[in-house]
A and B are shown apart, each in its own frame.
Chain A
Amino acid sequence: MRYSGFRVLKEALTGHKGWTPAWRDPDPQPHYDIVIVGGGGHGLATAYYLAKEFRQHRIAVIEKGWIGGGNVGRNTTIIRSNYLLDGNEPFYEFSLKLWEGLEQDFNYNAMVSQRGILNLIHTDAQRDAFIRRGNGMILNGADAELLSVAQLKREYPFLNYDNARFPIKGGLAQRRGGTVRHDAVAWGYARGADSRGVDIIQNCEVTGFRIENGKCLGVETSRGFIGAGKVGVAVAGSSSRVMAKAGMRLPIESHALQAFVSEGLKPVLPGVITFGAGHFYCSQSDKGGLVFGGDIDGYNSYAQRGNLPVIEDVAEGGMALFPGLGRVRLLRIWGGIMDMSMDGSPIIDRTHIDGLYFNGGWCYGGFKATPASGWCFAHLLATDTPHKTATAYRFDRFERGYLIDEKGMGAQPNLH
């Protein structure tokens, strides 16, 4: 069924009888050409592009719970392509371009809102680093703009310019960055994939991989064995657990990242703002809530919750940057599990097991990557060659020393 304003009008006048389920609820077939493990944003996007762009057939997405219940449904909804390193920037710019045409592409309004993202500068060294980054972005065909304090005062008059411990000295802006209605991304891809024949199988947990002499033949699940020509795993938050079933150890640690939303407010924030001297970034949702986050809790965790010190740290950052927030109330706190890789960048690659492919290690950059991650993983699954924007995301880069370390923190995941 095609969604449109006209359709909404028609249904409104006929008592909304005509709406059908956004996606089917099929039983698993015994065998598929391609099985995607994980019904999150990346898994659903992969299935969608496999079917739509790479003309693949007999595809299933299997999800242990309900689709979109993982990080795609528990993040701070930011999209951007303001990366420093050549291993990352082309990929995230590709993703941003896909975001720009996404809604028309999958006929679902995910409220892609390019309201701009701003990274504040507080020291001269930070400015040098951001200029290097901004130039790198431009070299990669992305947009970047260096803002003076005077410009900032015009666009963001409410920031703390006069009484700051770490004065604002400028900002690096990407106007094409912004936010997206996160749940709608999962639903839009699911609906788009389903309408192209992809089986989305919910409440079906992978309990193991059937691997015979080095080849993966399919997955054992709570609903029985499902055979597959190829298996692609995209299970952010569970990567180590799932791949352990295939006998693999990953260069990944799982950490909890808390996110926050305030009570609804009339519009105050024009776009996404990131504090450069503390852990705080913030945007305002269409519904009016301020959505913000900060640093990960910093210890390995699979619990979707965090603790007070980080909550206080984020609030301190918020107040330091925007003293008018004092009486804004924090409405809800939740936690997501980040698969933090050892250099802070993701992996989209074949494994040493024939027919088993892996997509993960997105740290807290996974949401903005959703379209490109899906496209590139689909490309790899369909053609067995990496997409040109994802050639650096290899497993062996750690062993061979081709690291993509944006923050320069080394093999310490909780610092990325």
Chain B
Amino acid sequence: MIINHPLLGPCDAQEFVYKGDASLIDRPDGMADGTDAAFYDYAYLRDNPAGEHRELWYHEQGDRSWLVVTRNTVTHEITSVELARDVARSMGRSR
């Protein structure tokens, strides 16, 4: 596969390491009350859609950016690629 890196352009997916659903960005607050259920959901449950899937890829053999790739799991067509850091910020994650 070819992943169109937002900074570097098309790169062979072989340079990347796959992690999984982009929802892994949305880590619950470990100090919140009753956070156990949230962590179970976060760590273990997946939509696993047949179709469009937002997922995390790490450019390990490249510039070491984590990317959020929107890819169809049936056709493997990739429709958008973003820097995960920007996505995380847009989801309100900070420090």
Contacts and interface: CB of A to CB of B under 8 A. Distances in A.
Interface of A: 238, 240-241, 244, 249-254, 298-303, 307, 309, 342, 398-399, 411-414
Given A241-B50, A300-B20, A412-B19, A307 B1 contact: yes
B47 to A, nearest CB: 6
Interface in B1-53: 1, 13-14, 18-21, 37, 40, 43-50, 53
Given A303-B74, A307-B1, A298 B18 contact: yes
B47 A249 contact: yes
B76 A398 contact: no
Chain B binding surface SS class:
mixed
A412 B1 contact: no
5 contacts: A240-B49, A252-B48, A254-B48, A299-B55, A307-B1
A22 B46 CA distance: 39
A251 B20 contact: no
The 8 closest A-B pairs by CB, nearest first: A240-B48, A251-B44, A398-B44, A302-B50, A249-B45, A309-B14, A299-B18, A399-B40
B76 to A, nearest CB: 6
Given A299-B13, A299-B55, A299-B71, 8 more contacts: A240-B47, A249-B47, A250-B45, A252-B48, A253-B46, A254-B73, A398-B43, A412-B19
B75 interface: yes
Chain A binding surface SS class:
mixed
Contacts of A301: 73, 76
A300 B73 contact: yes
B43 A300 contact: no
B45 A414 contact: no
Interface residues of B, number: 24
Contact of A414 (B18, B40, B75): B18
Contacts of B20: 253, 300, 412-414
A251 B18 contact: no
Nearest to B74: A302
Interface of B: 1, 13-14, 18-21, 37, 40, 43-50, 53, 55, 71, 73-76
Nearest to B57: A299
Contacts of B75: 303
Contacts of B49: 240
Contacts of A250: 45-46, 48
B76 A303 contact: yes
Nearest to A313: B14
A241 B14 CA distance: 28
A396 to B, nearest CB: 10
Contacts of A309: 13-14
B73 A411 contact: no
Nearest to B75: A303
Contacts of A241: 50
A412 B58 CA distance: 15
B57 to A, nearest CB: 8
